[in-house]
Structure 1
Amino acid sequence: MTGKRHARATFKGRRMEPVYVKRRQRFIAVVISAVILLIGATIYIGVATSNHSSVVADYEGSGNGTMQLVEIPEGSSMSEIGPELVERGIIASNASFQSAAAANPGAASIQPGFFRLQEQMSAASAVSALLDPANQVDLLDIHGGATLMDVTVVGGATRLGIFSQIAQVTCTAGSTNCITAQSLQQIASTVAPAELGVPQWAIAAVESRGNDPKRLEGLIMPGRYVVNPEDDARGILRDLITRSATQFADTDIEGRARVIGLTPYELLTAASLIEREAPAGDFDKVARVILNRLALPMPLQFDSTVNYGLSEQEVATTDEDRATETPWNTYARDGLPATPIAAASLEALHAMENPAEGSWLYFVTIDSSGTTVFNDTFEQHQEDTRRALESGVLDSNR
């Protein structure tokens, strides 16, 4: 018993551990130390690389003088346009651009359109340039009642037509692609309507006008348009007319025209009369007057249709003007004018598509505040016209 107890091998009163246990512990310690070193090295390399990239991934200054034209589509954000700017050499990296955008409080309010930017801009300069209206190509702003051609107003200034407005936004300082009103007229009068995006329901009417540059009247809707300053005259007109055709279709112009007994082109023409004749708030009533007169039949006798064929226009027309036969003068011809006489807004289209209920045949604005009265008889209309004359709203500038 005593010999067996001594065989248990003790040293200084402690029990001896097996050798292989100590070796395993040392191995684990070495592995842990290696892993810690590897993680630390990885973090260091990542930080160093990131710091190095932040230095080389951004240009300095506001550009090298070489201009690029950049489009910001509607609904775009800074995060979406960064990669394109990198690809075109305007900025050095999307990361620096996004950082600059995040640091600029106005970045969220970027506007759609075309912008002139220089190559090799710092990210901060590029963000600032996109927020500066001076770098944006002007928008084409077409108002309701606008015509394709310029209008000379008696006793007033010339009202620019849509062709001249397009020329204004393309023929700016630094522009290399000036589209003149004359070149637009030439395209409008000679290119096949279908090639310009004219909807199928309007093609025959447009073609019937021969080479008249006004044959596209009414087919460009009012609105604010981004015009690509690199497009030619044909491309610009096609873009505007195609976009307008989509808006016409969205109102169900063909279906609504059938309901009120007109063709879509006639409905558009009638809507242009509303745009030129009716005060705000009375569009649907004027639409009913038009339909009531057409149904009788009874001449429309709208002064706006007389004016459209004159070289000089004003609110009131003379007896001589009203006796002049033109394709639009509804004193001298029955029914609607041969074409629309202006750009009709969505409000005018909707009014013509959904006219008010009523038996009115006459209307006249009786004061400078725009008060318009509607009635059924000529006698009532005569009395209202006298009130209008007394208020001065029908005074001639001739």
Structure 2
Amino acid sequence: MSKTTSGSMRDRRMEPVYVKRRQRFLAVVIAALILIIGAVIYIGVATSNREATMTDYEGTGNGVVQLVEIPEGSSMSELGPELEERGIVATNGAFQNAAGANPDAGSIQPGFYRLQEEMSAASAVSALLNPDNQVELVDIYGGATLMDVTVVGGNTRPGIYSQIAQVTCTEGSTNCITIEALQSVASTMDPAQLGVPEWAIPAVESRGNDPKRLEGLIMPGQYVVNPSADAQGILTDLITRSAGKLEDSGIVARAEAIDLTPYELLTAASLIEREAPAGDFDKVARVILNRLEEPMRLQFDSTVNYGLSEVEVATTDADREAITPWNTYAMDGLPETPIAAVSMEALQAMENPAEGNWLYFVTIDTDGTTVFNDTFEQHQDDTLRAFDSGVLDSNR
């Protein structure tokens, strides 16, 4: 019995040694497997990435042009997957490498670009940095009008409709948006569908099928126009973006503060754009408000010209007597609609006019010097100075 007991004790002493050896063996095996699996994964990923980054087209494209958009706030590096999917570059990896290697890649501008299919990644990056490949922006200035303006004895100033047509009807364009198409949409589409602010819809609708009824509702600025959109899409985009700017400006509260409706404020500000030289916006705003308060007619030549087929600074007696929806020589109050694109500066001038009792102003020389007066007698004297300087000479 003592032998049996002694053998059992010996077995129990040996068991932990065996277990520990087995555990160490298993640990080594597991660690080895983990290393092997990790190595396989690493090699696979590395190989995949290397293949992706090394796969590239050669040359500058196959001649098939596609339009690519870089939205505002986007970067070139975000384009890679789309360019690969559309067959413009072979792989996103190659494009990312090329963008990273080009020191100018971070200066890419938002807009639409013409790229070809099957371009090398480096060529694609270079093409995106070349302004010749960018679809031209529509650059709308303060005081611009929807329709072209023909100056007597001078040139024709392109209107907003013409500007849109110019950037879409380029050489090789397959989607030329004509002036006629834009005018048709402007005159017939539901204003709400075009993005016109709610407070402007009744005034727009009251103009019937006039293609100028959207005047003033596209604000100055540089706009990226989608060259693949139709006339309705382009106008809706421009008006919607402008409506957002007006809403952000607090135009409803601004108008209420000076006892005008938002549409009347927009209309008054458009007169500033057409009448006031730079630096005098707030003074012309004061003249407008003073005359409305008197009340007395505004008698602005810009409102006379808006209804004419040909314009010049020196309007005629017959022009000033003509009854139109805009002629403030022949009507009380403001014109029925704005007469130009309205900048934020003009809106701010109406909200914060200069202090003064002025009722009259006139530009007296070709440098744009404008004088403001309280009385008609003073105004007459300065108008004679304007005639003497040739500012009011007629080319008719």
Hey, what does 2:57 align to over in structure 1? 59
Partner secondary structure for residue 139 of structure 2:
strand
Distance 2:250 2:32 in 1: 74
Distance 1:175 1:280 in 2: 38
Seen in structure 2, the aligned counterparts of structure 1 residues 239 and 46 have a Cα distance that, compared at 3 Å, is: closer
Contact 1:251 1:350 (8 Å CA) reproduced: no
Hey, what does 2:7 align to over in structure 1? none
1:194-218 superposed Cα distances (whole Å, 9 cap, x missing partner): 1111111111111111111111111
Unpaired runs of at least 5, structure 2:
1-17
Q: Compute the displacement of 1:55 (Å).
A: 3.0
Give 2:100's match in structure 1, choosing from 85, 99, 102: 102
Give the counterpart letter for 1:168 in structure 2: Q
Seen in structure 2, the aligned counterparts of structure 1 residues 36 and 235 have a Cα distance that, compared at 3 Å, is: closer
Contact 1:69 1:114 (8 Å CA) reproduced: yes
Distance 1:68 1:210 in 2: 39
Contact 2:53 2:97 (8 Å CA) reproduced: no
Q: Compute the displacement of 1:40 (Å).
A: 7.8
Q: Compute the displacement of 1:95 (Å).
A: 1.9
Partner secondary structure for residue 150 of structure 2:
strand
Percent of residue pairs bearing the same amino acid type: 75
Q: Compute the displacement of 1:382 (Å).
A: 1.2
Give the counterpart letter for 2:177 in structure 1: I
Give 2:70's match in structure 1, choosing from 62, 69, 72: 72
Hey, what does 1:294 align to over in structure 2? 292
Contact 1:190 1:211 (8 Å CA) reproduced: yes
Q: Compute the displacement of 1:248 (Å).
A: 1.0
Hey, what does 1:318 align to over in structure 2? 316
Give 1:379's match in structure 2, choosing from 374, 377, 380: 377
Contact 2:53 2:91 (8 Å CA) reproduced: no
1:57-95 superposed Cα distances (whole Å, 9 cap, x missing partner): x22222222222111011211122212212222112222
Q: Compute the displacement of 1:326 (Å).
A: 1.1
In angstroms, what is the RMSD of aligned CA positions?
2.4
1:308-360 superposed Cα distances (whole Å, 9 cap, x missing partner): 11111011111111111111111111111111111111111111122222211
TM-score by length of 2: 0.89
Distance 2:257 2:160 in 1: 32
Hey, what does 1:128 align to over in structure 2? 126
Give the counterpart letter for 1:54 in structure 2: T
Distance 1:148 1:34 in 2: 76
Hey, what does 1:3 align to over in structure 2? none
Hey, what does 1:305 align to over in structure 2? 303
Count of residue correspondences? 375
Q: Compute the displacement of 1:229 (Å).
A: 0.9
Distance 1:48 1:298 in 2: 82
Hey, what does 2:266 align to over in structure 1? 268
Hey, what does 2:115 align to over in structure 1? 117
Give 1:388's match in structure 2, choosing from 375, 386, 396: 386
Q: How does 1:224-235 map to 2 (within 5 A)?
A: 224-235=222-233
- Asked if residue 174 in structure 1 is aligned to residue 172 in structure 2, the reply is yes
TM-score by length of 1: 0.88
Distance 1:167 1:51 in 2: 46
Give the counterpart letter for 2:339 in structure 1: I
After TM superposition, the structure 1 stretch with the greater mean CA deviation from structure 2, 38-47 or 306-315, is 38-47
Distance 1:329 1:340 in 2: 12
1:141-200 superposed Cα distances (whole Å, 9 cap, x missing partner): 111111111111101111111111111111111211111000111111111111111111
Partner secondary structure for residue 344 of structure 1:
coil
Distance 1:63 1:72 in 2: 20
Q: Compute the displacement of 1:48 (Å).
A: 5.2
Partner secondary structure for residue 364 of structure 1:
strand
Distance 2:259 2:312 in 1: 32
Contact 2:70 2:112 (8 Å CA) reproduced: yes
Contact 1:274 1:287 (8 Å CA) reproduced: yes
Give the counterpart letter for 1:261 in structure 2: D
Hey, what does 1:277 align to over in structure 2? 275
Distance 1:328 1:115 in 2: 41
Unpaired runs of at least 5, structure 1:
1-19
Distance 2:228 2:320 in 1: 44
Q: How does 1:131-170 map to 2 (within 5 A)?
A: 131-170=129-168
Distance 1:397 1:169 in 2: 32
Seen in structure 2, the aligned counterparts of structure 1 residues 45 and 396 have a Cα distance that, compared at 3 Å, is: same
Contact 1:253 1:353 (8 Å CA) reproduced: no
Hey, what does 2:365 align to over in structure 1? 367
Distance 1:235 1:293 in 2: 40
Hey, what does 2:331 align to over in structure 1? 333
Q: Compute the displacement of 1:37 (Å).
A: 9.6
Seen in structure 2, the aligned counterparts of structure 1 residues 76 and 43 have a Cα distance that, compared at 3 Å, is: closer
Hey, what does 1:5 align to over in structure 2? none
Seen in structure 2, the aligned counterparts of structure 1 residues 372 and 88 have a Cα distance that, compared at 3 Å, is: same
Q: Compute the displacement of 1:251 (Å).
A: 1.4
Distance 1:208 1:49 in 2: 64
- Asked if residue 91 in structure 1 is aligned to residue 89 in structure 2, the reply is yes
Q: Compute the displacement of 1:390 (Å).
A: 1.5
